Amino acid sequence: MFLKGLWSLSKKNHLEMVQFTVPTPYPGTKLRDKLLAEGRVLPQYGWEHYDCTTVVIKPPKSMRDKRGIDMTPEEFQARYDWALDQVHSYGSIFRRVKQNRPLFYTINGLYRWALQEHRTLPFSQTAQTF
């Protein structure tokens, strides 16, 4: 799967910083026009959910599980969260940043903290935080 591939790529290449987001169809973008035309923008999510870490679209047909069943937005979110947790675990950070680079440890640690804080805030506070 794509998200598992991103995690593997970051491990294999010892990337010092890793950040990836979910596709977010902001107004005025070609992505939004395309996804609206395909009926893939989820109408139940308000703008406070458009934070690049919350799945607000139906995944493409190419994202199917092992049984060939289309992935739901909830499954996509769970897999994205899993990939972020893997990339930003302390073990992953230490393996990726093998050389003594305190700056990258600090930045990765702060990013990990921000992700955890972001997940515990209600959505209305999340939108105001970032």
* Mean pLDDT by groups of 10 residues along the chain of 130 residues: 64 72 92 95 90 91 76 89 82 69 67 69 44
pTM of the model as a whole: 0.68
DSSP string, 62-120: T-B-TTSPBPPHHHHHHHHHHHHHHHTSHHHHHHH--S--HHHHHHHHHHHHHHHHHHH
pLDDT value of position 127:
44
- Domain limits for position 41: 2-129
Please tell me the total count of domains within the chain.
1
pLDDT value of position 105:
64
How distant is the alpha carbon of residue 116 from its chain centre?
13
pLDDT value of position 56:
95
Biggest CA pair distance of the chain:
49
pLDDT value of position 4:
65
